[in-house]
Structure 1
Amino acid sequence: MARPSRVSRTLSQNFLTDRAAAARLARLAVPHPKAPLVLEVGAGKGALTELLAPRCRRLLAYEIDERLVPLLGTRVDGMRQVRVVAGDFLAARPPHVPFSVAGNVPFSRTAAIVDWCLRAPALTEATLLTQLEYARKRTGDYGSWTKLTVLSWPRHEWRLVGRVGRYGFRPVPRVDAGIIRIERRRSPLLAPGDQYGWRHLVELGFSGVGGSLHASLCRAHPRRRVDAAFRAAGLDRTVLVGAVSPERWLRLHEVLAP
């Protein structure tokens, strides 16, 4: 059997070894100590786990690599609030009580983990260490916005809250990492009954059919209404779909909603 210290390329493992960065990630993930319930995804060897534990009443540390589970268990031995869960975080059922998620996520599984978080009704926030490019794209840091971010914006706020250089990991990845924070809004920006119309509008806009955002929206709405919506949102008719911020999408929705 392979030694526990050996890295699994299949699992996309890059262990966080920068203790200052790990401490910052723990503070960002649990800004107010004694959080009721935190789920850690990809606990690995426990570098983040032991820093999260004092800030939680309950901490479920998920680790899919069976070789690392004994080492992780030894590291948190005596921390009664921690339970090591040997298995795939993505196979877990989301708790029915409010909870948060934290972790240095395997880069190759970031999209699936984020999707899991967005679908969990009781999630309050997720603080994840991801590839920097992913974090910047999802939070609009490049000055452009992805469909996923816009679709989820009425219920979730996305923020880039930190960066970690690639040399803070072992093995050293090819790229730097970013700390992304996804917070569920206490009061959604749209009523539940507006969600279907919102999804339809955003998916139509990002479809690329028609050659531009304006033309795409005109496929389902009268041109005069689309023109009015663009004026209300302060948008030029030639704007690229990725350059439209979530706030401007909300203005488009206000005018174009049935």
Structure 2
Amino acid sequence: MVDRHAVDLVVKAARPRGLVLEPGSGEGALTVALAEAGADVVGYELDPLLAAKLKARTGLKIVKGDFTAVRPPREPFAVVGNIPYSITSKIVSWCLNAPELTSATLVTQLEYARKRSGDYGRWSLVTVESWPWFTWELAGRIGRESFRPVPSVDSAVLRVERRPEPLAGSGYQDLVELGFSGIGGSLHASLSTAYDGVGAACAAAGIARGTVVAFVHPDQWLTLAERLLR
């Protein structure tokens, strides 16, 4: 990332403070900006030469290694990074499974950010399944000209933030996975294989009988869970 305005957009969305882990520090444009904003940054870089140069130039803590192989800290922390597109899902999964993560602010492909944030008007399994615990926001767009080398697609800032308190409890994720399974050809049919009162629950959530599962808003899933998991 070579555009200072793009770096500033990421830092503004991240609101960094305390411990911040940065996957893929590269040449350090974002690393330095996060440190200047007051964060206690720990950068991770696979390339040993880049890692050594950045550490020597900035004096910041730069770890040579694979971020996704790192054990999450046992204290509250955030993740902020201009991450490799090829391992976006792997990094997002790592973040969602880290118990002390407070937020993740990631530069991803624009299409990925739009899918996960519901910007297309559709909702993915990953977003719906994690909705009681995390919010998802498309926090800004970054043109491809902001990078060197210039990629073939535009990017975006995707922010995932842990909620203060969960909105659902035990059984929610099983409910969602069954709903997305496609069993029976519709959401109503899928849920009816394991739950009673699906018709009434869908009506309470404002979900028409023939609604395709991808168009069911995460908040409607919360209503389904409230009715079906009693």
TM-score, with structure 1 as normaliser: 0.87
- Deviation of residue 70 (structure 1)? 2.3
Instruction: Choose from 211, 218, 225 the match for 1:239.
Output: 211
Specify the alignment match of 1:200 in structure 2.
Answer: 174
Q: What amino acid sits opposite 2:14 in the alignment?
A: A
Please show how residues 81-100 of structure 1 align to structure 2 within 5 Å. 82-100=60-78
8 Å CA contact retained: 1:30, 1:52: no
Looking at structure 1, the residues matched to 39 and 161 of structure 2 have their Cα atoms a distance apart, in angstroms, of 20
Looking at structure 1, the residues matched to 54 and 15 of structure 2 have their Cα atoms a distance apart, in angstroms, of 20
Please show how residues 18-97 of structure 1 align to structure 2 within 5 Å. 18-30=3-15, 35-77=17-59, 82-97=60-75
- Deviation of residue 19 (structure 1)? 1.1
Looking at structure 2, the residues matched to 94 and 18 of structure 1 have their Cα atoms a distance apart, in angstroms, of 30
Looking at structure 2, the residues matched to 30 and 49 of structure 1 have their Cα atoms a distance apart, in angstroms, of 14
Q: What amino acid sits opposite 2:52 in the alignment?
A: P
Q: What amino acid sits opposite 2:61 in the alignment?
A: R
* CA-based RMSD: 1.1
The answer to whether 1:210 aligns with 2:188 is no
Looking at structure 1, the residues matched to 223 and 12 of structure 2 have their Cα atoms a distance apart, in angstroms, of 35
**Dislocated runs of 4+, deviation >3 Å:** none
Looking at structure 1, the residues matched to 56 and 2 of structure 2 have their Cα atoms a distance apart, in angstroms, of 18
- Deviation of residue 68 (structure 1)? 1.0
SS at structure 1 position matched to 2:103: strand
Percent identity between the two aligned chains? 53
The answer to whether 1:127 aligns with 2:105 is yes
Looking at structure 2, the residues matched to 134 and 148 of structure 1 have their Cα atoms a distance apart, in angstroms, of 12
- Any gaps of 5 or more consecutive residues in structure 2? none
Looking at structure 2, the residues matched to 202 and 57 of structure 1 have their Cα atoms a distance apart, in angstroms, of 36
Specify the alignment match of 1:253 in structure 2.
Answer: 225
Which of 1 and 2 has greater Rg? 1
Structure 1 stretch displaced more, 150-159 or 58-67 = 58-67
Please show how residues 155-166 of structure 1 align to structure 2 within 5 Å. 155-166=133-144
SS at structure 1 position matched to 2:182: coil
Q: What amino acid sits opposite 2:32 in the alignment?
A: E
Please show how residues 145-184 of structure 1 align to structure 2 within 5 Å. 145-184=123-162
8 Å CA contact retained: 1:41, 1:63: yes
Looking at structure 1, the residues matched to 57 and 220 of structure 2 have their Cα atoms a distance apart, in angstroms, of 48
- Any gaps of 5 or more consecutive residues in structure 1? 1-15
